[in-house]
Amino acid sequence: MKHRRVFAGLFSVAVVMSVIAAPQAVAAECQYNRQDLPLPAGATYVHTEGSSTNNSRIVGSYTDVNANRALLWVNSTLRVLPPAVYPAFDVFPEAVNNTSVVVGRQETRRPAGALSKAFRFENGAYEFLETGADEHSSAFGVNDAGDVVGTVWTDAAPSVRTVVVWPRNGTRKSFGVGQAVGINAQRKIVMIGDGSGWVVDTDTGARIELPGARHPVVFDNDRVLNYEYLPEEARGQITEWDLAGVRVGAHRGGYQPYGRNGSGTVFGTLEPSLGGTPTLWRTTSRSPVVADRLPSDYFYAEITDAATLIGTYRDADNSTHPARWLWVCA
């Protein structure tokens, strides 16, 4: 899956976090331990791009001799995806499912601008998804059945993006102008367009509006998280919706959502006016992530059901490092 395009970096020391609900004496014995993910030799600008619904798979991106390449970590074991298929030069992964199917786009460099083509990668090969001769395409999310959500556009109107689904079986379906966010096991998609968010049943075409939903937005554990500005307070919050279009959470002071785990913990950042601190929200509390290397909101991040953090951090020399942070209690 993908819950774009939001991202956390992490840290090089143990982190104690008060947000985890536990007796005080136990909480004092718990900490986050960083586990850097393995990298190819010579790789630069390495970062996370997405993770699967059970978080056993992480997909990432890196630069190799001026070409963008894709990485896949399966339970922290590194796999390097093949280079782009000629005449394409760059591979930009976006999402991965629980069976290691990776989706994204390949780009062919041209004087008039890159030509983008959406792909689904599995069993060691790239499959290019249905794209018209006059179209560009990019994939942004994939479910465990291999159904893919993305967008298409043309050179004539590059800012007009149409949300499409490429089913595992069958022809491409279109769902109007907007930006694709993600797709779940029931082939419901989340998209942003027309000043609102939408949950769309791709089998029936039924649409449920999420009024005012706007970027940044993620789709995780069948919840939609987006930024909402509150003019009366001159600041915002992360608003949480279920797939019936009901607001089920308001995470005050939040700005950039990263993800939500099965226990209901939301990982994101505070408003810039509040310092932009990476933060965890639980049902009755919020607590900042305290570390010498705080998450970078430029990269993908997530929180797992085990409270592990996934993301990318920056070192003192501004180099980037993908990692997991394990919540460990003595």
Closest CA to 211 of 226, 196, 228: 196
Q: pLDDT-based confidence at 252, cuts 50/70/90?
A: very high
Cβ 269 vs Cβ 278: under 8 Å: yes
Q: Does domain 24-329 have CATH number 2.60.40.650?
A: no
User: Looking at residue 64, what is its pLDDT?
Assistant: 92
Average pLDDT over residues 139-165: 97
User: Looking at residue 18, what is its pLDDT?
Assistant: 34
The pTM (predicted TM-score) of the whole model is 0.90
Q: pLDDT-based confidence at 194, cuts 50/70/90?
A: confident
Average pLDDT over residues 239-249: 97
SS (H, E, C) 107-173: EECCCCCCEEEEEEEECCEEEECCCCCCEEEEEEEECCCCCEEEEEEECCCCCCCEEEEECCCCCCE
Q: Mean pLDDT across the chain, nearest whole number? A: 89
Identify which has the larger pLDDT, 80 or 3: 80
User: Looking at residue 2, what is its pLDDT?
Assistant: 52
Q: pLDDT-based confidence at 1, cuts 50/70/90?
A: low
Identify which has the larger pLDDT, 17 or 265: 265
Average pLDDT over residues 243-268: 96
User: Looking at residue 31, what is its pLDDT?
Assistant: 74
Question: Per-residue pLDDT tens for 280-301?
Answer: 998 889 988 766 676 788 999 9
Domain ranges of the chain: 24-329
Q: pLDDT-based confidence at 167, cuts 50/70/90?
A: very high
User: Looking at residue 291, what is its pLDDT?
Assistant: 65
Query: Backbone phi, then psi, for 237, in 5-degree steps?
Result: -155, 165
